[in-house]
Amino acid sequence: MYHVVAGVDEDVERARNCARAVADLPGPPSERTVWLLHSFTDNPSGASAPQVRSVREATELLEEAGADVEVRESSGDPARALLEAAEEADADLVVVAGRRERSPAGKAVFGSTTQTVILEADRSVLVAGTTQDD
């Protein structure tokens, strides 16, 4: 069994990109366990992760592909939460989404969560591509 931890924020397209990247990994998705992790930095309504649209859509995409999906949630620093979940799961891979930056300097830098995970992870990290804007 291949274990993946994927970070999903509120952005639906980034969540779909992460889910597609996981679904497209080599081997049958049915042999893949995926923890989708949503970290709340502010949650005044008291929502749970499965109530977040981006999490629901990523879950549906992965389940349709045949993966075993578990939704997890945390609060606080998303990078720290992803790294801790990867450790807890003894994950084979951590998946994060890239952010499309518009400035020339911004294009060379990932979002802070993605950058922290890349630099601090003790396992492989896959950065899911971004969708091109028209």
Q: How far is CA 56 from CA 35, 74, 81, 116, in A?
A: 13, 16, 19, 25
Other C-beta atoms within 10 Å of 64: how many? 11
The three-class DSSP label of residue 79 is: helix
Return the CA Rg of the chain.
14
Report pLDDT for 47: 74
Is the CATH code 3.40.50.720 the one for domain 2-128?
no
Per-domain boundaries in the chain: 2-128
User: What pLDDT, in 10s, does the model give residues 58-89?
Assistant: 999 999 999 999 999 998 899 999 999 999 99
CA distance 117 to 129: 16
Q: Give counts: helices (H), strands (E), the chain.
A: 5, 5
Helix (H) or strand (E) holding 58: helix 53-65
Question: Residue 98 above 90 pLDDT?
Answer: no
Q: Summarize the confidence of residues 5-29 as an average pLDDT.
A: 95
Which two three-digit tokens encode residue 112?
């802070």
User: 3-state DSSP call for residue 115?
Assistant: helix
